[in-house]
Amino acid sequence: MSTIETIRYARTESLRALPSSQRTYVGRLVRVVRSLAIWIGSLLERRRSRLVLLEMTDDQLKDIGISRCDAHREGLRPFWD
């Protein structure tokens, strides 16, 4: 058995040892934390793409149909917006 399979097996066994009420609580908590991590990842990706717009040359911006003013405005927006 490989290491990853061993870790996966141990994790499922430890969850089965919990009472059903705690299992549902742990499952919900895992889903909330996972969705929060995905949301934060999307915010960071949005920020990175806005910063790339600020670094593009005028020719590159022209290729994608964005003016320097639009790129600057978009690049300065906060990551949560």
CA distance 70 to 29: 40
Q: Give the domain ranges of the chain.
A: 3-75
* Predicted TM-score (pTM) of this structure: 0.60
pLDDT tens track of the chain, all 81 residues?
Answer: 555 555 555 555 565 666 666 678 888 999 999 999 999 999 999 999 999 999 999 999 999 999 999 999 999 998 778
Q: How many CB atoms lie within 10 A of CB 72?
A: 13
